A and B are shown apart, each in its own frame.
Chain A
Amino acid sequence: MTTAIEVRNLHHRYASAGDHPPAVGDVSFDVEENQFFTLLGPSGCGKTTTLRCIAGLEKPDGGQIKLRDVVVVSPRAFVPTHRRDIGMVFQDYAVWPHMTVFENVAFPLRMQSRRRLRTGAIRDKVMAMLELIGMAQFEKRRATQLSGGQQQRLSLARALVREPEVLLLDEPLSSLDARLRAQMRTELRRIQRRLKVTTVFVTHDQIEALSLSNEIAVMQDGNIVQQGRPRDLYFRPRSEFVGNLVGAANVIAGAIDSVGDVNENGERRLKIQTEMGILVCDDTSDQVWTTGASCSVLIRPESILMHHSDTADRENVFAGRVDLGLFIGESVEHEVAVGPIELKVKVPTSVRFRREDKAYIEIPSANCVVFEG
């Protein structure tokens, strides 16, 4: 596989930001060809800035960016945006209100100076693109006469029409309502697969990130704190911050009681003293644990099991009381009090509990993630 985008030690501080910390501290990552790469992080962590640096809309203070073999940003070189082989979709669509749908999509083709297209060729390409996103019938409409979802498709078509090397997406779904967002998510993935275009996607929404990406980089305060495949991030977050960002989580504070030996899977059994009692966890990290050190344990609500009666033969079973049950259709979300701790537990609808019911909570040791501190 070849590397389509290479970002090295990117650093940027806005001139107008005064003595605030830099928008991007020190960011490096590679995106393989045809991959869907996501920058995930809370608002203000520097995702947009990073993306705008790749696009050339911001000139970073430091670092190097390569698109394919072309160095577009380095201390010596800076390729202006319109000479970079990119397509970009903006958060609020940015379709031009003074042009029709057709003209919006044709614009990038008309801007190509090296290989000028004839009118017929432009028409064919634009119509093929509009066909692909299902908007051919709106060709003659003004961009202002489209709904939000249609504007979003239009701006996607405009970004893709000149078949760019790299597609940059800045929270393209965040302005849509929930139902439309889910639909566009699927469609985006399908189109990206079909066209095989290397994509950098920026979002603060964990579902978008998990469902669309080949690779996710989680950003916090201008830096990448963890990078990996969606499953790794979800099941093996390396910090409480990442764990919470990619999905709902219970985080329980405790202290190391004892450290077991490494088994054949490379796991160690940790016994952790918590306010619920002793919790046994399978630790896969290469962290060095010392007895008595404080730590916290992350458990996903859906990996917890709920029983009506005690199953004393299994490990990590705790008695609790149901405080709240929220029926949300595909499952039920319970709040269960175990001693002083409120646990979020998500179970199939077939498992039925009432408020105030006694419940036995089972936490499989393989589903616990342990962090320092």
Chain B
Amino acid sequence: MAIIAVGILAYLVAGPLFILLTSAVRKNDFGLPLSEGSYWTMENVRTVFLSSETYRVLGSTLIFALGSLLLAFVISLSFAWLIERTNIPFRNWLFVLVVAPSGIPLLITAISWSLLLNPTNGVINQVLEGTLHITFNAYSLPGMILVQAFGMVPLTFLLVTGSLRSMNGVLEDAAETSGASRLRIIRRITLPLLTPALLGALIYEFVNSVESVDVPLVLGLPSKIPVLSTTIYNNAHPPDGLPDYGLSGTYGFFLLLLALGPLIAYDRAIGSSGKYATMTGRVRRPKRVDLGRWRVPLFIVAMGYVVVSFILPLLILIWASLQPYYSGVSMAALKRTTLHGWTTVWGGASVPLAIKNTLLLGVVVSILTMCLSVLIAWVIVRARSRFVWILDLLAFMPHAIPGVVIGLSVLLLYLLVPLPIYGSIWIIVIAQVTLYVSLGTRLMGAAIAQLQVVMEEAAAASGAPMRRIWFRVIFPLIRPSFVNGALLVLMASMQNLTLPLMLSSPGNVVLSSLIWDRWDYGLPDQAAVLSVVMVAITVTFAAVLRGGSGKSDVV
């Protein structure tokens, strides 16, 4: 059973990667890169690596990724510090409000910001125009950075706050008794100690921001700001003309290098050195700083952020869903309020199909991913073989491979392999399982590592065969982690736009790709209605997830 799991993993990860790499250097003038009649060529590689266009795209990708990363970290660190280390009022509520937007798909965040900040009738721009005579164009790099950062804050905050919370306060006390002032303690002790966790989160979010297509599609394309992910998408799904998979694959390879670089550097700097090996000992919760007269002003600033980043976007979506055509907020528009969008959107087969597909996708992907992850994690943790590291690497790889690259590879693979899944929902299932299996393996690895081997050995000594040990001992003990992980994957799967888009065909439409479709087609009211529906679904799941686990400081 474990061997089957390992085989599936190898197939899921290695197959597409192989196709991706070869598609970059094989070409067929009339068909798919690897089909019969293709030949070796460096043409794609030359086109990509030598054209100045590539480096322009790379430049904007880096500015976009690093800019949003910086902004998201500044915001997340500030919130983490305020909530974990100060006596700011209503800390628990602030925590919930900062994390809550994790239930909103990034695509929808981007759409709502387009409604708020587009240069012609964005609501905020209407206000700015009326009062200060300035406008802020969302269809620009700064606009993309801002929105991407808002989208990344919830997860970044969760990652940072977890490590800040588990830090041993005695290490700071020791610096204080050595004569260090508060600022010096933060600089010389707190930040250096958080460095590994911060770097880990930074790299994780870096991969997220270079791979995602949501914000670049909604805000970047209108003003022709391409980044790598949208370039890959456009070459595989051009608005007109034939797809150029070879070129797309080469760009994909380029993006893979971009994501792998920092990851390997990180691994070498921290993973191996043991520099940050955790020290044992009793942990004392750090003291909270008394903010004094800054307590209320800082709370107001924090709430201001919550309103702007969470509440305003939701309100504008609801507003847009009630308008026959979107034209900002005004008295005239208020008079036009109608439920037309809500009643017409259900017409045709695509919406019911998308909802059905979304739920099917989420449930199947989460179950498959977690079952596979449990088996792989168990092998990794328990096996005594020398070759376990290969498995570890295989399970870790998807974490470093941008989703858009996985999408492309899976697309290429099933265009070639004569399996009848191209164009069905199952191709998205396969791609998403590949994407999420590293997350699942990490979660289950942690759970299984905590499980003492003697539990299994005791069952074996009591005469239980392996199968019964699994069902009677192992599974019951790791069930909480399993359920938690399944919910996380379910959420991520339903929110994911990249893979449904890369692998889209009429038959496998899901909510996220349908919303993009309607928005791209110029139907903001329908896009808004669907967004509200989808947020209702995902926020419900997110609430269940956070409520059920309480402390899911995962990833």
Chain A residues near B (Cβ < 8 Å): 52, 55-57, 80-84, 86-88, 90-98, 107-108, 111-112, 142, 144-145, 155, 158-159, 162, 168, 175
Contact = CB atoms under 8 A, between A and B. Distances in A.
Given A52-B173, A92-B281, A144-B276, 20 more contacts: A57-B173, A81-B176, A87-B178, A88-B174, A92-B170, A93-B279, A94-B173, A94-B174, A94-B281, A95-B174, A96-B171, A107-B178, A107-B188, A108-B178, A111-B175, A111-B181, A111-B184, A144-B277, A158-B174, A175-B281
A112 B184 CA distance: 12
Contact of B170 (A90, A97, A112, A144): A90
Interface stretch (B9-17, B189-197, B204-212): B189-197
B179 A90 contact: no
Interface string B150-185: 000000000000000000101101111111110010
B177 A87 contact: yes
A88 B274 contact: no
B174 A98 contact: no
Interface in B253-302: 274-282, 287
B172 to A, nearest CB: 9
A238 to B, nearest CB: 33
Interface residues of B, number: 28
Nearest to B274: A144
Contact of A91 (B171, B179, B282): B282
A57 B171 CA distance: 12
Contacts of B276: 97-98, 144
Nearest to B287: A57
A141 B76 CA distance: 34
Contacts of A158: 174, 178
Given A97-B279, A98-B193, A175-B281, A107 B175 contact: yes
Shortest 5 CB-CB contacts between residues of A and residues of B: A92-B281, A108-B178, A88-B177, A111-B179, A94-B174
A97 B167 CA distance: 12
Contacts of B173: 52, 55, 57, 81, 88, 90, 94
A108 B193 contact: no
A158 B180 CA distance: 13
A92 B282 contact: yes
Contacts of B277: 97, 144
A320 B486 CA distance: 70
A96 B189 contact: yes
Nearest to B191: A98
Contacts of B180: 82, 107, 111
Contacts of A52: 173
- Name the residue in B177, B193, B276 with the highest tally of chain A Cβ atoms < 10 Å from its Cβ: B177
14 contacts: A55-B177, A57-B176, A82-B179, A88-B173, A90-B170, A91-B281, A92-B279, A93-B281, A95-B174, A95-B279, A97-B193, A98-B193, A98-B275, A145-B274
Contacts of B175: 96, 107, 111
Contact of A57 (B177, B274, B280): B177
A83 B181 CA distance: 8
A112 B176 contact: no
